[in-house]
Chains A and B, each alone.
Chain A
Amino acid sequence: MTAIKFYGHGLPNVQTTPLPGRLIVLEGPDGVGRSTQVALLREWLESQGYAVFSSGLRRSELASAGIETAKQGHTLGHVTMALFYAADFCDRLEREILPMLRAGFVVLTDRYIYSLMARAMVRGVDKRWVQSLMGIALVPDAVFYLKARVQDLVPRVLSTRGFDFWEAGMDFLPTSDYYQSYAVYQERMLRTFDELGAEFGFVEIDASRSIDAVFADLRAGIGQIVSELKTAEAAAQQ
């Protein structure tokens, strides 16, 4: 059982009884391979007999369509965008993540509030404000941070979908050169992630290595957390 604990003011109307599930977060920069690892982990966990729910940013029923529209028009300011992302996050937290944890699932999320905080902070939004805004978030059981340097990320991004307007920070950086902008933006994001990692206790995983080496580390770390579920269930049955 995991006691319910929020980072800040938390959410109203939440039952305070402990959650039987586990909340595991994968964080890391764009192109580091988070979604690949989530897909692999989900299959592995299910093969071990765990019920898994995976979630990621901008997948809420409420706000995802609006955020996509806003991104196309590049119309929103940084504070507005942070609030829109917070609405998206909160919708998933209240209507998906919390109920799934209550039902005993292992919830794997591809990014969490830290990406949202970093995203806003590098754009000059006040850190204290973002942190208070995101105080609605549940404290996860673990945050695995896939860490890589910008030079490790570039070939991966180029070989898959190319540079994205937002992932290159083109919305606020002064240069119109995608590559240069990407490098500056991701460098700032990495520094911010390092700062947040120290503060929020990320487990760092060197993601400049091969997919199987990263997977092995994640499997070991996550395996330990979820194994408690089996012993806890066994204990409850006796």
Chain B
Amino acid sequence: MATLPDGTMLPGKLFIVEGIDGSGKSTQLDLVHKWLTTSGYLVAFSEWNSSPLVAKATKRGKKKQLLTPTTFSLMHAVDFSQRFQQQILPALRAGAIVLADRYIYTAFARDAARGVNREWVREVYSFAVKPTVALYFRVPLDESLRRIIVGRPALKYYEAGLDLGLSDDPYECYRIFQGRILREYDAMVDEFGLTVIDAAAPLVQQQQLVRQIIAPHLEGALRIDPNPWRDVLGTEHLSGRYLDSLVHPGAPAS
């Protein structure tokens, strides 16, 4: 069950992943997404900082380096609130499974790492639903840096935390910034009951563990017929040769 702040239980299930950059959480969630859709569940997916409306303003703010820790925090809150009202909440009310790549804990960790008051950020997001399961992919800082830096030409200004002026060297700055975020995450494990996954473990073993954790919560989740056109094809004597090229909403990218 996912739970509203006032204690109301929603029929849907909310599974979220958290962790610093390079923890492998998105890869794991993508595998969960494919597993659940293949199993016939209706799955809605929502990604951090993906609302098109806010993206324009955030992009502008990043390009012109207008963003302060507080406005940065608020722009992410606008993005989250928009996705929450339009995607996450309706899907949970309908009884569907919602997968979120990063959730409010990302804001709590990053904004606090930027010096924003912790209580204030938590209050800003107090309208959010408590997830059914919140997975925190914990990885040592050096391991995540090794994964991230490989094949990446340059770190971006805000990504590296250069706005904080921790160091003139983007890589050093990034390391300090990610280290701070890591400490915030670790402190939240008990505060919010995050389920810790050892993200340094082999990828496939992590996925096995994740599925074991999620499986008991799937009972009653909304399902859809994965092949709703099967009957039409049969009665109309069609082969459905062009159906493969359609993009099905909610299906994970293959």
Residues of A within 8 A of B206 (CB): none
Residues of B within 8 A of A87 (CB): 57, 71, 74-75, 77-78
Number of contacts between A and B (CB, 8 Å)?
Answer: 92
Closest to B124 in A: A133
* In the bound complex, CA of A132 to CA of B117 (Å): 12
A79 to chain B, nearest CB (A): 5
Chain B: interface residue count, which band?
A: 20 to 34
Cβ of A50 < 8 Å from any Cβ of B? no
Closest to A11 in B: B70
Chain B, 142-198, CB within 8 A of any chain A CB: none
B91-119 vs A, CB cutoff 8 Å, 1 = contact: the mask equals 00000000000000000000000111101
B181 to chain A, nearest CB (A): 16
Residues of B within 8 A of A90 (CB): 68, 70-71, 74
Closest to A63 in B: B57
In contact, A12 and B70 (Cβ under 8 angstroms): yes
Closest to B114 in A: A12
Residues of A within 8 A of B85 (CB): 77, 79-80
In contact, A62 and B60 (Cβ under 8 angstroms): yes
Cβ of B35 < 8 Å from any Cβ of A? no
* Interface SS of B by simple majority: helix
A22-43 vs B, CB cutoff 8 Å, 1 = contact: the mask equals 0000000000000000000000
A117 to chain B, nearest CB (A): 14
In contact, B66 and A62 (Cβ under 8 angstroms): yes
Closest to A93 in B: B70
Known: A66-B56, A77-B82, A80-B85. A95 touches B120 (CB 8 A): no
Cβ of A135 < 8 Å from any Cβ of B? yes
* Other-chain residue from A62, A65, A83 in contact with B77 (beta carbon distance below 8 A): A83
A7-24 vs B, CB cutoff 8 Å, 1 = contact: the mask equals 011111100000000000
Residues of A within 8 A of B77 (CB): 83, 86-87
Closest to B89 in A: A77
In contact, A133 and B123 (Cβ under 8 angstroms): yes
Residues of B within 8 A of A94 (CB): 68, 70-71
* In the bound complex, CA of A77 to CA of B123 (Å): 18
Cβ of B67 < 8 Å from any Cβ of A? yes
* Other-chain residue from B57, B69, B123 in contact with A132 (beta carbon distance below 8 A): B123
Cβ of B37 < 8 Å from any Cβ of A? no
Closest to A10 in B: B117
Known: A9-B120, A11-B70, A13-B69. A129 touches B127 (CB 8 A): yes
* In the bound complex, CA of A100 to CA of B114 (Å): 24
B219 to chain A, nearest CB (A): 31
Cβ of B126 < 8 Å from any Cβ of A? yes
Q: A9-B120, A63-B71 are in contact. List 11 more A-B contacts (CB 8 A).
A: A61-B60, A62-B75, A65-B56, A77-B81, A80-B85, A83-B124, A86-B77, A87-B78, A95-B68, A132-B124, A133-B123
Residues on B lying within 8 angstroms of A by beta carbon are 53-54, 56-57, 60-61, 64, 66-71, 74-75, 77-78, 81-82, 85-86, 114-117, 119-120, 123-124, 126-127
